[in-house]
Every structure is written in structure tokens, then in C-alpha cells.
Amino acid sequence: MLKLNSRRLATAAALVLAAGAAQAHPGHGAAGFADALAHPFMGLDHLLAMVAVGAWSVAALPAGRRLAGPAVFLLMLLAGVALAWSGVMLPGVEAGVAISVTLFGVMLLAGRRLPAVPGLLMVGAAALLHGSAHGSELVPGTDMLVTASGIAVASAALHALGLMAGIRLQAMGSWATQLAAALLGSSGLVMLATRL
């Protein structure tokens, strides 16, 4: 059983709130499957967003449809990668990626009070931005299919962690979900402040 004490909680909060210093995108491009596989784990914004989508899916969707959130995210993530790869750059990607972390915190807090369709539309829109961020870093001449596969596998793993976290949050009670939502929301705001 997970026991939280105030020191551990403060340490966790400090690490999450320090997210602004860890921007995922400047200065490194994905050059192949291994790099693409590692990339979503290297940016706290991507990591938090993908885990949050899994947790939101548990909190908001019926048990038999929990994979809808991760599936929509993965499809739109790959669409964003393809758009960037083809030269279509979406405006405000870095700010949008940071805002998505806060958005997912709000969505997690709302749970089932947010209807599934609008929630999935927001997941898809955010994923398009995340995909654009990833796609803009693809090294010219890189095999897009190999790189996109690495990004998809890593993202699916993070969504699986989020689904497990969501199940654990439910078991712990509403206070745990509220705390996770607050940490997501505040970390997204800190990231946004560093990108403006």
C-alpha cells in the first residue's frame, strides 16, 4: 500500500513544478527508432500529458472504453508528426503542449462530469500539437515510418502507465485524483510561463 508523508509529497510536488526547466524540444532531433522511442520519456511535458490521458480515461470513460483516450491520442499524435514531416507547422506548438498538461489536469479533475466526446476532441487536439512538436524534430533523411513507430511505442507505454495510475488513483479515493489534477495543472502553468 502506498503511504504518503508530507516530505515525500513536497518532494514530488517540487519535482513536478520544476518541469518548466525541462523543455522537451530544443536542441535534439530524433534520428531513428531508438531516439524516437526515448524522446517522449525525455520531455516532462510529453511524459505528463501521455500519462494524464491514461489516468483521465480511467476517471472519465466507462471501463470497456478506457482505451479510447489513448487511441485518439496516438492517432492524432501520428497525424501531427506527419503534418510536421510534410512541412506544415502548427502555430504555438510549445505553448500549446504546456497548456495541454494543464488541460489534462482540469479534465482529470472533471472526470465523468465532462462528456466523453468533448473530452476525446480535446485529447485529439492536444495530441496533434504533441505530434507536431515531435515531427518538427525529425532529422531530414530519417525513415519516417521507423521514427513514427518509435514515438508510437513509447507513447503507448506512457498511456499504459497512465491507465495503471488512474486505476490506482480511483482506489485511493477522490483526494488522490484531486492532488494529481492539481499537480498536472500547476506544472503545465509553470511550463507555459517558461515558454512565453
Q: Residue written as cell 501521455? A: 50
pLDDT at 24: 45
The domain locations on the chain are 29-195
| pTM for this predicted structure | 0.82
Average pLDDT, the chain: 86
Q: Are 79 and 128 in contact (CB under 8 A)?
A: yes
Assign 77 a pLDDT band (cuts: 50, 70, 90). Answer: very high
Return the higher-pLDDT residue of 24 and 126: 126
Better-scored residue on pLDDT, 42 or 93: 93
